[in-house]
Structure 1
Amino acid sequence: MTNSPLAYTDAGTGPTLVFLHGFCESKELWTDFVKPLTHHFRIIALDLPGHGQSALPGDFSMEAQAQQVQETLQALGVDKFLLVGHSMGGYVSLAFAEQFPEQLLGLCLFHSSALADTAEKKESRDKTISFIEKHGVEKFMETFVGPLFAEGNRESCKTAIEKMQAIGKATPQATITGCLKAMRDRQDRTHVLKDTALPVLFLAGKEDAAVPLEAVLQQCHLPQNSMVYFLGGVGHMGIFEKTAATRLAILKFSETLTFAGSQQKKQERGF
């Protein structure tokens, strides 16, 4: 097992945006989402430890994953950037912001939260670990992905659901159980939001069962500078459920940031 480097894709030129996927996902989550952005930005998407093409780590904690992200970006010569984290990728992003704030220009929590797991959620994680150990990854993925989408979107997002199920089924069991334990045990990082001078963008689905709207409302006011986009009719997968709207929100947020050496134009772009 190794702790670096992580697998990645690197496309486009300009200010850098770094994308981190969530639990049982991979960098392929972002493939279609970021294509239009590569006309204006350098887009780096990483496979988090044990996911996609990245090797199994010795430590799945959010802090250790953030360290691997930092090491990989350092090897790529990336300095200042906007960090976008989906779900568990947001937990890693917050750990990164705590450890390496000087490298960030902004933070986007895409269906994510700074709150620690509740006692009920911890119990649910433990039950999921037991289920996977007994029945395997494939059985788990058959029921895990669909409910991440708002009920009204599941038919129109059928292809996306099948794609995410396939990615999940290819994820090693050791990664899945390791990440479940790490998410269960992660610390509350609302202090990171309270203390940061970084601009923070919250993208929240009004029908998100994984990160409920109420949880986002508890923390979106904490940063000194925050933007919040509440997505009606969206669950936990706005990347697919409202692609154009969430992409445009990230674009507009990026235009409020001060990218070193960038003369980025603030103009409407047809996405």
Structure 2
Amino acid sequence: MLSYTEAGSGPAIVFLHGFCESKELWTDFTKPLQHQFRIITVDLPGHGESPMTHDFSMENQARQVQETLTSLEVEKCLLVGHSMGGYVGLAIAEQFPELLYGLCLFHSSALPDTEEKKEYRDKTVDFVRKHGIDKFMDTFVAPLFAESNRVSCADAIEKMQAIGKATPQETVLGCLQAMRDRVDRTEVLKTTSTPVFFIAGKEDPAVPLEATLQQCSLPENSMTYFLGHVGHMGMFENTALTRQALLKFAETLYPADAQRYRAANSF
């Protein structure tokens, strides 16, 4: 079973972090949502406090998340996946569609790695083996933030660097190779009946704006929120707007609960 945190009550929203991250990514972002929803944040295999695995494929990570949610008696949820967490979310949508009320690709993509990106992954594997995790994280995290946000987000950058440096090398290498080898899941977007919400940063170096534009019209039912002056880390770079956008999507999935919440909190 994977490590998780749980707070609040109501319909379930499950948050999956990305590569070299942990459930701590979501700590501040999810607090206001706990008044309305059952918030579950999960450490993916080999990250945070979750046990190591020898199979970092998106399919195996999806199975472990599904098993964890089953143990928590989550029958259906809105699944929010940041970056690699979105890759896992798409594998869940493919393997366990009955689990999802909705899927949020939070700076994520159904597209496979390009040949250029695969070459970058391989070079990163070589760099980590030669120089270690600390040197890699010193250069990896800050460029995920839009350049204009790096001073104001200095604390968040430091936090994510520390989380990354605590990630085992086996996890880092395994995930790099698994992301490199993941399959194209655009067909999942085309065929799913699950509503899909894309959150995209207009200055995202990892998931370019063009990639989101290529995918956001594929699902039968989808919404897209584009964030100006934001890179790959919208939960830090523009917390309020990003949270508000996610909340509006959640309320389209759970309209009765949203009405009850607003009635209970009206003054």
Deviations 1:69-102 (A, max 9, x none): 0000000111110000000000000000000001
Partner of 2:21: 25
Deviations 1:6-45 (A, max 9, x none): 0000000000000000000000000000000000000000
Gaps of 5+ in 2: none
| Residue 193 of structure 1 pairs with residue 189 of structure 2 | yes
Superposed, 1:8-157 pairs within 5 Å as: 8-157=4-153
| Equivalent AA in structure 1 for residue 163 of structure 2 | I
Higher helix proportion, which one?
2
Q: 1 CA distance for matches of 2:35 and 2:62?
A: 27
The Cα shift of 1:144 comes to: 0.2
The Cα shift of 1:267 comes to: 4.4
Name the SS of the counterpart of 2:244 in structure 1. helix
Name the SS of the counterpart of 1:105 in structure 2. strand
Name the SS of the counterpart of 1:25 in structure 2. coil
Note the aligned Cα RMSD (angstroms).
1.4
Q: 2 CA distance for matches of 1:263 and 1:75?
A: 24
Q: Say whether the 8 Å CA contact 2:100–2:194 is kept in structure 1.
A: yes
Partner of 2:227: 231
TM-score normalized by the length of structure 2: 0.97
Q: 2 CA distance for matches of 1:118 and 1:213?
A: 15
Superposed, 1:144-183 pairs within 5 Å as: 144-183=140-179
Cα 1:191–1:135, aligned 2, differ >3 Å: closer, same or farther? same
TM-score normalized by the length of structure 1: 0.95
| Equivalent AA in structure 2 for residue 54 of structure 1 | S
Partner of 2:250: 254
Gaps of 5+ in 1: none
Name the SS of the counterpart of 2:33 in structure 1. helix
Q: 2 CA distance for matches of 1:226 and 1:214?
A: 17
| Equivalent AA in structure 1 for residue 131 of structure 2 | H
Q: 1 CA distance for matches of 2:91 and 2:220?
A: 18
The Cα shift of 1:264 comes to: 3.1
Give the 4+ runs in structure 1 shifted more than 4 A.
266-270
Partner of 1:263: 257
Q: 2 CA distance for matches of 1:263 and 1:234?
A: 31
Q: 1 CA distance for matches of 2:200 and 2:41?
A: 21
Q: 1 CA distance for matches of 2:252 and 2:257?
A: 12
| Residue 242 of structure 1 pairs with residue 238 of structure 2 | yes
Q: Say whether the 8 Å CA contact 2:11–2:254 is kept in structure 1.
A: no
- The alignment-based identity, stated in percent, is 71
Name the SS of the counterpart of 1:210 in structure 2. coil
| Equivalent AA in structure 2 for residue 118 of structure 1 | T
